[in-house]
Amino acid sequence: MSSTDTVVHIVDDEEAVRASLAFLLTSAGFAVRVHESATAFLAVANQIQNGCLITDLRMPDMDGVELLRRLRDSDTMLPAIVITGNGDVQMAVEAMKHGAIDFIEKPFSDEVLIESIGKAAARASERVQLTQTIEQTRQRLALLSERERQVLSGVVAGQPNKAIAFELGISPRTVEVYRAGLMGKMQARSLPDLVRMVMNIDIADIG
């Protein structure tokens, strides 16, 4: 999946600004959706699977900082860029504290905006890929037996086979058998590969 698969969502209360940004980014090869207010965007934010956000800071119904705060609180945060006017730098910094990855001061060049959006789109694609990887790992974990999960917990904790065997009351050779079985079910090519797979999974999902 490439960053070009990412939809750029533009939030601005001025129609002319929305149209101008949409034309610029569409011409640069991005898929674009426009939203006339932060409230309108929030209404559909939970349906967005692969997107990034460009938003103005000062809007009448809800400013950009509040928009980012609500996205974060509802766990629907997207890689976001805020556009600021003169004197808005303090607000822009506040927006970054709430999760924005960049802010751009007006007036700005097309190249600066496109470069920033490209980075945000790439980050959005990475998030989607990570989510898919986590889901695949959870599905593979569901295939493990209770004993395999116990052995996996020990492996991830860095315990040698003898320590895992002692803790579970089985032989080291039996631990090796379970370990080989879970490696196959998890489709792990090596021990480091296995550990990387489960690093992003809550340990409660394993044990």
pLDDT at 14: 93
Residue corresponding to tokens 């504290």: 97
pLDDT digits (tens, 9 = 90+) for 126-149: 887 887 888 889 999 999 999 999
Neighbours of 30 (CB within 10 A): 19
pLDDT at 187: 93
CA atoms of 62 and 55, how far apart (whole Å):
11
Q: Tell me if 21 sits within 8 A of 148, measured CB to CB.
A: no
**Listed residue (149, 146, 153, 141) closest to 186, CA to CA:** 141
Residues above pLDDT 70, as percent of the chain: 94
Cis ω on the peptide bond leading into residue 107 (within 30° of 0)? yes
Q: Which residue has the higher pLDDT, 92 or 26?
A: 26
Q: What backbone torsions phi and psi does residue 80 show, to the nearest 5 degrees?
A: -130, 145
**Once rounded to an integer, what is the mean pLDDT over residues 58-83?**
92
pLDDT greater than 60 at residue 4: no
Q: What pTM does this model have? A: 0.68
Contacts of 123 (CB under 8 A, 6+ apart): 52, 79, 101
**Listed residue (200, 192, 73) closest to 126, CA to CA:** 200
pLDDT greater than 90 at residue 34: yes
**Once rounded to an integer, what is the mean pLDDT over residues 24-41?**
95
Which of 76-85, 98-107, 134-143, 175-184 has the highest mean predicted lDDT (pLDDT)? 175-184
Three-state secondary-structure class, residue 2 = coil
